[in-house]
């Protein structure tokens, strides 16, 4: 598709290839002579007939091996934070000390659920609903 017959700074018109000798891009149309690249399109992952990278990789055998390896956070509800005293700071370490999460856990997320009547300072990722419940009880989320 031609953009315009007037010269433009933004959009250049594409060169029409293979339209006769007078165009300067006739016959082989700037592809050289013969060979695979002169003829058809080659997929970008093609390696000249050599076994591709994907096929060279070994399969991971066994159950659940090809599943995503991303670590999902441990989930807590707002109601479970009621065990903390007033104006306490909630961190991952504090949750481990209170035995609300296992010692091996690295990521925690707090979701809405239950009620909270104690003002707490929470420095753990929270959902929007959990943030509303914490702030309603007089606490803060940082």
Residue 102's CATH number: 3.100.10.10
Asked which of 2-16, 28-42, 89-103, 114-128 is least confident by mean pLDDT, the reply is 2-16
- The Cα 122–Cα 142 span in angstroms is 6
Residue 47 lies in a domain: no
* pLDDT given at position 58: 81
- Token pair belonging to 129: 């609903």
Name the residue range of residue 82's domain.
74-141
Of 60 and 55, the structure prediction assigns the larger pLDDT to: 55
Residue 13 lies in a domain: no
Residue 20 lies in a domain: no
Number of domain units in the chain: 1
Q: What is the DSSP string of 57-107?
A: SPP--STTTTS--PPPPEEEEGGGGGGSPTT-EE-HHHHHHTTSS-TT---
Q: What is the CA radius of gyration of the chain?
A: 32
* pLDDT given at position 1: 53
Residue 94: band (very low, low, confident or very high) from pLDDT cuts 50, 70, 90: very high
What mean pLDDT is reported for the chain?
86
| Model pTM above 0.85 | no
Residue 52 lies in a domain: no
């Amino acid at each position: 598709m031609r953009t315009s017959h007037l010269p433009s700074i933004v959009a250049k018109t594409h060169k029409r290839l293979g339209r006769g000798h007078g165009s300067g891009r006739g016959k082989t149309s700037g592809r050289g002579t013969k060979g695979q690249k002169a003829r058809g399109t080659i997929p970008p992952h093609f390696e000249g007939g050599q076994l591709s990278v994907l096929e060279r990789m070994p399969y991971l055998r066994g159950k659940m091996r090809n599943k995503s390896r991303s670590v999902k956070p441990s989930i807590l509800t707002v109601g479970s934070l009621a065990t903390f005293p007033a104006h306490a700071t909630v961190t991952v370490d504090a949750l481990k000390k209170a035995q609300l999460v296992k010692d091996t856990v690295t990521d925690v997320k707090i979701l809405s659920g239950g009620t909270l009547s104690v003002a707490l300072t929470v420095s753990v990722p929270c959902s929007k609903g959990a943030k509303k419940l914490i702030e309603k009880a007089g606490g803060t989320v940082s």
